Amino acid sequence: MNLNSFRYCLRQGAVSLQRNFWLAMVTASMIAVSIAIFGVFLLLSVNVGQVMQNIAGNVEIAVFLEDRADTNSVLSAIRGLSGVAEYTFVSREQGLVNFGQTLGEKDLFSVLAGENNPLPDMFRVRTLDATLVPTMAAALRKVRGVEAVDYGEDLVAQLLNMTRWLNSMFLALSLFLGLGATLLIVTIIRLSVMARQEEIGVMKYLGASNWYIRLPFILEGATMGLLGSLLATLSLGAVYFRLTSNLQNGVLPFLFRPVTEVAALWPMFSLLLLLGFFLGIIGSLLSVRKYLREVRRTA
């Protein structure tokens, strides 16, 4: 296709958009709604992911020592493990104080001091990465002098399950929304194709290439898609940053802070923009396909 043809296709795409202006606007708005909903779920997923990471990152391994264990040998064993971020020693006396403070019952526990203290000495170990927790816990269990290791297996398992479930739901919904938006574009472009059916017929007889016939519709669909996704991205971005700036003023604890770094969000917003654009192109290609099918030998 040469420059003259491309210019013609651009002009035709623009004329068609102008002719079906309101229909195009309705389509762009519907695409915007679909992409905005998709974006909301994407943002939710990013934020839930961050919260999960925060929680998982805060998982500590509690290493309980035997009554007469050699604290120094356990300590050197912990130091020898790779992936340890930090560790603290909590003596049985300190443990009792902490426990009392947590329950707010200082008096009751004063009787448990000294010889009556039921708590063992312990180490709190934090890993560099949450995924290292299970293997490190297993390694610590084998250290001589260690009686028990606990890191809240249930919580970690639940978090992983929840993330998995959320991701599947998110994927299903995305597919559903994507399909809906594509069907919408197909319908609108098909109306446009039908309005120009006579012209397409003449073009074929005049020896126009399929791409020449197709391109104006693709440009029309891509413009609608891009317009819709631009609208969705801008509104979503504005609402999200407004909302998160309100929430960030110290109301939420660290674990539940939303993602606000532009670096973390821009790939997501670019994806939304591209998605609208490609949905527009795919929808248009599907609409014109039927009209451009070449003849086959029939029996």
Partner 1 sequence: MIEFVEITKQYPGSKIPALSNVSLQIQRGEFVFLVGSSGAGKSTMLRLLFREYLPSSGSIFFLGRDSAKMKPGELLKYRRRIGMVFQDFRLLKQKTVFENVAFALEVVGRSSQEIRLAVPVALAEVGLLDRAKAFPGELSGGEQQRVGIARAIVRKPTIILADEPTGNVDPENAWQLMELFTQINRTGTTVIIATHASDVVDRLRKRVIALEKGRLVRDEKRGVYGHES
Question: Which residue in 116, 128, 121 sits closest to 148, CA to CA?
Answer: 121
Question: Which residue in 28, 45, 293 sits closest to 162, CA to CA?
Answer: 45
* Residue 265 CA neighbour count, 13 Å, CB half: 18
Phi-psi region of 209 (alpha: psi -120 to 50; beta: other; left: phi over 0): beta
Range list of β-strands (E), 55-195: 60-65, 84-90, 122-127, 146-150
* Cβ 225 vs Cβ 283: under 8 Å: yes
Q: Is 161 helix (H, G, I), strand (E, B) or coil?
A: helix
- The stretch near partner 1 (CB under 8 A) out of 59-67, 90-98, 146-154, 203-211 is 203-211
Least separation in angstroms between residue 284's CB and partner 1 is 19
Least separation in angstroms between residue 129's CB and partner 1 is 55
Strands 60-65 and 122-127: antiparallel
Asked if 79 touches partner 1 (CB under 8 A), the answer is no
Per-residue tokens: 148:
């028990």
Binding mask 268-297 for partner 1 (x = CB under 8 A): --------------------------xxxx
- The stretch near partner 1 (CB under 8 A) out of 4-12, 25-33, 79-87, 123-131 is 4-12
- Judged by CB, which is closer to partner 1: 80, or 201? 201
Asked if 109 touches partner 1 (CB under 8 A), the answer is no
Among 44, 160, 202, 274, binds partner 1 (CB under 8 A): 202
Among 205, 249, 251, 290, binds partner 1 (CB under 8 A): 205
Asked if 209 touches partner 1 (CB under 8 A), the answer is yes
Asked if 207 touches partner 1 (CB under 8 A), the answer is yes
Vertex 215 angle, CA 214 and 219, to 5°: 125
- The stretch near partner 1 (CB under 8 A) out of 51-59, 62-70, 113-121, 202-210 is 202-210
Asked if 2 touches partner 1 (CB under 8 A), the answer is yes
- Judged by CB, which is closer to partner 1: 208, or 259? 208
- The stretch near partner 1 (CB under 8 A) out of 28-36, 128-136, 193-201, 263-271 is 193-201
Asked if 298 touches partner 1 (CB under 8 A), the answer is yes
Per-residue tokens: 292:
């451009």
The dihedral through the CA atoms of 189, 190, 191, 197 has a sign that is positive
Task: Give the residues across from 87 on adjacent strands.
Answer: 125
Least separation in angstroms between residue 220's CB and partner 1 is 17
- Judged by CB, which is closer to partner 1: 103, or 202? 202
Residues with Cβ < 8 Å from 169, sequence gap 6 or more?
none
DSSP string, 210-230: HHHHHHHHHHHHHHHHHHHHH
Least separation in angstroms between residue 294's CB and partner 1 is 7
Asked if 261 touches partner 1 (CB under 8 A), the answer is no
Give how many residues touch partner 1 by CB under 8 A.
Answer: 22
Task: Give the residues across from 84 on adjacent strands.
Answer: 127
* Cβ 83 vs Cβ 127: under 8 Å: yes
- The stretch near partner 1 (CB under 8 A) out of 110-118, 139-147, 172-180, 199-207 is 199-207
Query: In whole angstroms, what is the distance from residue 178 CA to residue 181 CA?
Result: 5
Give the footprint of partner 1 on this chain (CB under 8 A): 1-2, 4-5, 8, 198-199, 201-203, 205-209, 212, 294-299
